[in-house]
Amino acid sequence: MGEHRDDRGHRDGRDGRDGGHRGYGISEWPDVDEAVKKGDALVATPPRPLRRDRMEAYLAWFDEHCAGSKAAAERAREVIPGGVQHNLAFNHPFALEMTRAEGAWLWDVDGNRYIDFLQAGGPTVLGSNHPPVREKVVELLQTCGPVTGLFHEYEEKLARLIHDFMPAVEQFRMLGSGTEGVMAALRAARAFTGHEHVIKVGGGYHGWSDQVVYALRLPGTANLDAAGIPDDLLARTHEFFPHDLDELRALFEANRDRGGTAALILEPVGPESGVRPVPRDFAAQARALCDEFGALLIFDEVVTGFRHALGGYQAIVGVTPDLTTLGKAMANGYPMAALAGRADLMDRFGTAGGDVFFAG
């Protein structure tokens, strides 16, 4: 991919401005204004009620064909809150117990086969239980086990591989979840800038740590989902309406008067993995505002990383973040996450002279 860099090393992505992104999993940029207009019209449309006979037939199908799953769900509720370990499994009328996953297919305990449009929420980019990945994992388990707490050559190999695909990644630290990656990124940003405030997009999900359980589902919802979190832990988190650059600038200016903004964190494709898309140049304009106000730009690529491009969505928009969070897509769904970015930031986590605690 041809690219141009300005004097700060930021890629401007000018090779793809005509809408063609050769080699990437996106062929054109959406008309954001049109998408928002259609979304507003949909929200304003009164919901159509389900016909009682249709709903009864739907529920009857599950009772007839999924008795094993229904029994398993009833047993699980005795020892698991809600009967499942992941929110994606909260399905009506009951959770389905899956016994086999292969490629684009799932099989439940009753022998029913399903097309797996969910793909565990996205991380199985090669399809479920992809044989070459599984075989390599089994090989490693037979010789080294799942964990030693010490160093393994694959740690360096993975870090170098990620760097080759994402030039913004100078250093790379592995974690267990995307939530941890965001926690570490914000901690590093505050330590590096000396500022305390964080800005996010309303409706954007960045894990469930205390400081980002704010405006999780819709713009303007603030601390609606923050039961159990003291108000003062959210006092330095702020939201702005998706791609509203005037509101974003106003937040930067207001934060400057109260100590400064440590970081702006966003999904470069738009909140909720692009459900609410943003214009192509939004990330570049956000980058410029961060530079102007002395804040770090954090790209949350837990979902977008490796799906649209091996270089992440940052390769498509041509913008270099200071830090990037990554998730299970690195290992096709096996538990893994990471924080990666500029060496001078990542060095704050080092054991020799590092002053920001990071367990890994």
Catalytic center residues: 205, 300, 328
CA distance 24 to 2: 13
Contact call for residues 85 and 95 (beta carbons, < 8 A): no
Residue 179 CA to its chain's centroid (Å): 9
Name residue, tokens 């992941």: 86
Contact call for residues 189 and 323 (beta carbons, < 8 A): yes
Collapsing DSSP states into helix, strand and coil, what is residue 207?
coil
CA distance 276 to 215: 14
Question: Parallel, antiparallel, or unpaired for β 261-266 and 197-201?
Answer: parallel
CA distance 351 to 173: 12
Q: Could you please report the per-residue DSSP string of 59-103?
A: HHHHHHH-HHHHHHHHHHTTTSGGG-SSGGG--SSS---EEEEEB
Question: Parallel, antiparallel, or unpaired for β 237-240 and 171-175?
Answer: unpaired
CA distance 21 to 12: 13
Element (H, E) at 184: helix 178-193
The amino acid that residue 249 corresponds to is R
Contact call for residues 297 and 190 (beta carbons, < 8 A): no
Q: Interhelix angle for 67-76 vs 52-65, to 10°?
A: 90
Collapsing DSSP states into helix, strand and coil, what is residue 246?
helix
Element (H, E) at 40: helix 32-44
Collapsing DSSP states into helix, strand and coil, what is residue 70?
helix
Name residue, tokens 């949350």: 300
**Phi, psi angle pair for 338, to nearest 5°:** -160, 155
